[in-house]
Amino acid sequence: MGRTSDARERLVESGTELMHERGYTAVGVSELCEAAEVKKGSFYYFFPSKVDLALAVIDRHSTASKQALDQLASGDGPPLERLAAYTEGLRELHVEVYESCGQVLGCPIGNLGLEMSTQEPALRERLRQVFDHYVASLETVLDEAVDRGDLAPLDAHQTACSILALAEGSVMLAKMKNDPEVLGSLKRDVFRLIGADAPIVA
Amino acid sequence: MGRTSDARERLVESGTELMHERGYTAVGVSELCEAAEVKKGSFYYFFPSKVDLALAVIDRHSTASKQALDQLASGDGPPLERLAAYTEGLRELHVEVYESCGQVLGCPIGNLGLEMSTQEPALRERLRQVFDHYVASLETVLDEAVDRGDLAPLDAHQTACSILALAEGSVMLAKMKNDPEVLGSLKRDVFRLIGADAPIVA
């Protein structure tokens, strides 16, 4: 039994891992407590329900993706190079997960979104907020590329949504094939969608 | 209690409906039996496990999509018009579901694929076969368009996979926003991916 003071953190960590592997419904509170080495009473002290733990898990994923989204939206380098690097980073992320556990686990936000959108309005709303942040970051980089004349004028918001859809669908196929190299064509496809040549990223 | 003779069919029907609404894990055998008005003993007479019922549900979805895929791959009309009509048909399908139950339920194959790919190899394999059929149909229509000179030469298999990814990701976003009109831009995006103008379909 670990220290009580970090019990909440351990529960969020266990929830992040187990729900990424197996989804929301398949993971029970008892199992979460066991993995976190926390008593059931403590679980309900920190989280009134499993939904509340899932909200904390989603927040954790959102925090983890913040750095990559900040670099995409306003980091160093020309905008289309940042977009290209972002798509390559997505592929690398799923390759890393695959190499560490032998499985493509998919996007934790997309996984929960498909499983829970019709079940739990609170989860749907929080997941949508995370996707809204992705879309806003993509929109910013597209706007900058248009402003610089690197890209022909386009509906940046709509195109950002399409890029997110393509990325999430590609991750789905990678998960279903258990092959992260499905994402090897994502950069090319994203640049086809925006009608530009993909820059070579070092 | 309905007639025993159609008990299997009623179980598949209940499974199709309930799993589309709420996924695989969240729907129990007792609930499936109740919805189908079938005794639990009968369930296990027809299906050794819930996985076996899910396989029958997937087969049913596959059969239901056969007509649209046949029309896409080798139906009447020029290939790019068939492709455009297929993307519009997808949008219409999700609008119909939304109008009948107030929710975008998503693609039953993609839903099960994300939820169950890391859990049940038998389900993953059958779901992949269904997606392989989608990809083969898309590949056929792209090859025909290239042969006719309607489309510049491309890697038809790879592009078909990208179209499927875009469609599945768009359906995911439609489900998370509970708005089938997210699919209103799918046709335009698919034609951007293949580098052609989208034909107007009557």
Interchain proximity B167–A172, CB inside 8 Å: no
Rounded-to-integer distance, Cα A72 and Cα A133, Å? 12
Per-state percent for chain A, helix, strand, coil, to nearest 5: 75, 0, 25
Mean pLDDT, chain A, integer: 95
**Interface predicted TM-score (ipTM):** 0.95
CATH class of A61-194: mainly alpha
Which residues in chain B come in under a pLDDT of 70?
Answer: 1-5, 201-202
State residue B1's pLDDT score: 46
Rounded-to-integer distance, Cα B103 and Cα A99, Å? 37
Rounded-to-integer distance, Cα A175 and Cα A182, Å? 9
Rounded-to-integer distance, Cα B128 and Cα B193, Å? 23
Q: Per residue in A68-96, pLDDT tens? A: 999 999 999 999 999 999 999 999 999 99
State residue A1's pLDDT score: 46
Closest-CA residue in chain B for A127? Answer: B176
Q: Per residue in A4-55, pLDDT tens? A: 569 999 999 999 999 999 999 999 999 999 999 999 999 999 999 999 999 9
Interchain proximity B119–A168, CB inside 8 Å: no
Rounded-to-integer distance, Cα A17 and Cα B117, Å? 16
Rounded-to-integer distance, Cα B131 and Cα B152, Å? 25
Tell me the HSE value of A43 on the side-chain side, using a 13 A CA sphere: 24
Q: pTM score, two decimals?
A: 0.96
**What would you report as the CA-atom Rg of chain A, rounded to the nearest whole angstrom?**
19
Give the Å distances, CA to CA, from B13 to A197, B51, B57, B141.
48, 15, 8, 32
Rounded-to-integer distance, Cα A29 and Cα B116, Å? 20
Q: Per-residue confidence at A200, pLDDT binned at 50, 70, 90? A: confident
The answer to whether B164 touches B135, Cβ cutoff 8 Å, is yes
Pick the CATH number of A1-48 from 1.10.3450.40, 1.10.3720.10, 1.10.10.60, 3.40.190.10: 1.10.10.60
The answer to whether A192 touches B154, Cβ cutoff 8 Å, is no
Residue with tokens 């079938």: B38
Q: Which among A110, A118, A182 has CB closest to B22?
A: A118
CATH class of B58-194: mainly alpha
Count Cβ–Cβ pairs < 8 Å, chain A vs chain B. 133
What are the extents of the domains in chain A? Answer: 1-48, 61-194
Residue with tokens 């779901």: B127
Q: Which among A113, A173, A195 has CB closest to B176?
A: A113
Rounded-to-integer distance, Cα A107 and Cα B4, Å? 43
